[in-house]
Amino acid sequence: MAAEQKVFVLQQIRFGPDGKLEDFDKAIPDRQWSRNITVNGVFVPTIRIHPGEVQRWRFVHAGVEDNIALALDGHQLHEIAADGLALGRRVDWPAAEPSQEGVRELLLGPGYRSDVLVKAAPLAPGETSKEYFLRDGMLPAALSLQAATAAIRVAQSRAAFNAGDLIADIGNKPQRIIARVLVEGAAREMALPSGEELRDRIPSDLVPIRDEELTDVEQSVRFDGMSRRSCTPDGNCPICQTETSDCKLHFTSNERVFMPEHAPRMLKLGQASKWTITGDGIFPHPFHIHVNPFEVERDEPAQDGKMHRAKLWKDTIILPAGGQPKLIVIRSRYMDYEGEFVMHCHILGHEDMGMMERVKIAK
């Protein structure tokens, strides 16, 4: 039996304690309302799965800026693809509780996609259903509860929504919850694919980039948030060339705010290059590039249950925050597309304030 596929579009919707947001500007300083995660537009939906069944869940982080650390109670998330690209292996991310020391949840930054297989646990004798929660480990529990309370107020005004169920759930345990997973119905004995069975699923053009392929010029990118160094007191700014008093905050890529008239970064068709990307260490900027994915390393759980470095192909990677800027080195091959596109930070506010560049591939 083929695994049923479910798409989870995760969004972070801002609203106030009355469940409304008439003025978006008011939401910015009030950080507590930025962490409401909806799944396909629904707050804490119920996902149904049979005992023993395997389903393919395709997560899309379509949120504005907060990272999400995914984990499901009592079940591993068996990751098989990242950013729409098959991994060629199965990465078994740990269950939410109890978590193994040093092993982390599956991290999704804005713009990330992740495909996981979930095999539902069996029911105990006499049980007709069992409830689990899909959680976000990054979500502060108190904020989760506030968000949930506000959501209940909204839900109560709509007859079609069973607010009573949600209130009962939130009463004591479910904090940091994204969705409720209900295991119910007749048992289905479905097997997870092994790592070997997944090995040949990698797209044929995504073979590792060898050192001798790196013939195009090495690229360097630096994302800086809130750079003020080029503003003069009269507001005349050599970065964005505006003369308004609004010119105070810059989100820059290589010290420039995006301008359509800036010349694009040039890459050579059919060649490959190394990129060194640096964030400012203040914000966790997700670097995202269109058209060609890149090869990068991350820490992921291996067969021994510990975290190990592993290579994968992606098109979005978080430049971590946490004080010191940290370099990320990637490799990319410019395959069959000739023309222009963009690379940018996938925190949409940063991108809007200038953290973006044009890129052009030519012969």
Residues that bind Cu ion (CB under 5 A): 285, 345, 347, 350
Looking at beta carbons only, is 113 or 350 nearer to Cu ion?
350
CB of 325 to Cu ion, least distance (A): 13
CA separation for the pair 332, 292 (Å, rounded) = 7
Which residues are CB-neighbours of 19 under 8 A, at least 6 positions away? 150, 151, 153, 154, 157
Tell which residue, 67, 72, 92, has the closest CA to residue 306. 92
- Which is nearer to Cu ion, 209 or 221 (by Cβ)? 221
Q: CB under 8 Å to 31, separation ≥6 — which residues? A: none
Return the number of the residue (216 or 224) whose C-beta is nearest Cu ion.
Answer: 224
Q: How far is the CB of 53 from Cu ion (least distance, A)?
A: 39
* Nearest by Cα to 166 from 148, 182, 184: 148
Q: Nearest approach, Cβ of 131 to Cu ion (angstroms)? A: 37
Closest by CA position to 87, among listed 335, 301, 304, 327 = 301
Q: Which residues are within 8 A (CB) of 101 and not within 5 positions of it... i.e. 6 or more apart?
A: none
* Least distance CB 262 / Cu ion (angstroms): 18
Is the CB of 125 or the CB of 323 nearer to Cu ion?
Answer: 323
CB of 85 to Cu ion, least distance (A): 23
Nearer Cβ to Cu ion, position 224 or 295? Answer: 224
Name the minimum Å distance from CB 178 to Cu ion.
Answer: 23
Instruction: Name the minimum Å distance from CB 359 to Cu ion.
Output: 17
**Of 61 and 350, which has the nearer Cβ to Cu ion?**
350
Cβ proximity to Cu ion: between 81 and 345 the closer is 345
